[in-house]
Amino acid sequence: MLATSTPAFAASGTTLAFDRSSYSGEGCSTISGARVSATDNGSAKAGVAVTVSLPSDYAFDGGGTTHTGTTGSDGSLTLPDILLPGNSNTSTATATASGAAAATTSLIGSAAPEAVLVTDSGKVTASGVGTSATPLGGTLYLTSDKRVIDTGNNAAVVSTDVAAAGHIYVTTGNTWTIPLRKSDGSCVLGSAGSAERPAAGVPSGSTPVAGVLFHTSDKRIVSGDSGATVCSDVDTWGQMYFNGTDRFVPLKLTDGSFAYLQNDMVIAANSVPSGSTPAAARFWLSSDGRIVEFNGNVWANNVAAHGEIALNPGASFDSWQMPLRKNDGSNVLLVNYGSENATTGVPSGSTPLAHTLFLTSDNRIIDGSNGKVLSRGVTATGDYSQPFQDSSWAIPLTQDPATCGPS
């Protein structure tokens, strides 16, 4: 909301003013770029120490309700991002400086939505989803009335009467596919910008896996594109991963052995230790806490939990990170086949989500690469989605409006 600020005048000639008479935002979002300026008889005044105070239910990014800084050569001070509470409210922020009268501005927050997307460009409302929706993956949600909604495409309805969904599979641009099972047991494929289509050759009641794949009651992995049986005797599977050329899915077979899918080829993984659990791509988590590749290479030890593997933004080929929690509760980032990077600002015991993201025990999403808090009051998360060779990414979530604010 743009409006003209009314400055407060002081007898000394120093004047403080916010650049707007009011700032507005959605609950649990941020106000960015707010500025305070200092002038002396109409001319910009550098070097003025200004303190800005917020109401108790607001906060500056980084914590606290006060911020002190010094005006620059143009006489202005740009404030850190301001975090809004979840409730609808109107409050006042105040700027003070020695020898100057206080200046004020209004802070106007609307009620926070329940469904939001955390993206590379910030947190945005998941439009058209309503309440009690389930985040699926990318920009997709399953609504309370069983519709799959694509909030990234003007809330387009991907499918209706949906009982279960698998993992979204993204390749390039806005090209994605998600396997779905309807309430009547029939199976379909949802994809970007297209009407749902029947999953060819997939028996009623099958379990959606990822992309075009389904798991049948007789333990087969079937492609809903071709109707072909891709693999038989499959017990469990891990995360589908696209490295820029091929699609991989790790498997555990019913006899306890291991294999992986490379596109629609089944390749044995005989070097994976007995009792391991499929993790992602061509990796398994062994019973003794090792991340093991199909060929037996060990890339991490003492691992208690892992999140989704994901390409680095803009990566040209197979450049990825996977968030891990160790047995001692510490958190690290597994990077490109073996390097472990320490996380920043992630509390011990947090849950690894995807790429560099973690969910803390107090329901915050933190980017472990820089310690930035991306969301608060999180109640559920979906799958991370990022197109190949693209810097954009998204993860759908739901939040509690009562707790997603800064206080």
- Sign of the Cα torsion 91, 96, 102, 105 reads negative
**pLDDT tens-digit map of 197-211:** 999 999 999 999 999
Write out the two tokens for 187: 């199976």
pTM: 0.90
**Predicted local distance difference test score (pLDDT) of residue 13:** 81
**Predicted local distance difference test score (pLDDT) of residue 36:** 98
Quick check: helix, strand or coil at residue 151?
helix
Tokens 């809004």 belong to which residue?
A: 84
Number of neighbours of residue 342 by Cβ within 10 angstroms: 10
All residue ranges of the chain with pLDDT < 70 are 1-12, 407
> Phi and psi (nearest 5°) for 75?
80, 10
CA 69 to chain CA centroid, Å, is 32
For the beta sheet containing 277-280, the strands, ordered from the edge strand earlier in sequence to the opposite edge, are: 277-280, 283-285, 291-293, 298-300
**Predicted local distance difference test score (pLDDT) of residue 12:** 52
Taking the C-alpha atoms of residue 149 and residue 189, their distance in angstroms, rounded to an integer, is 14
Quick check: helix, strand or coil at residue 146?
coil
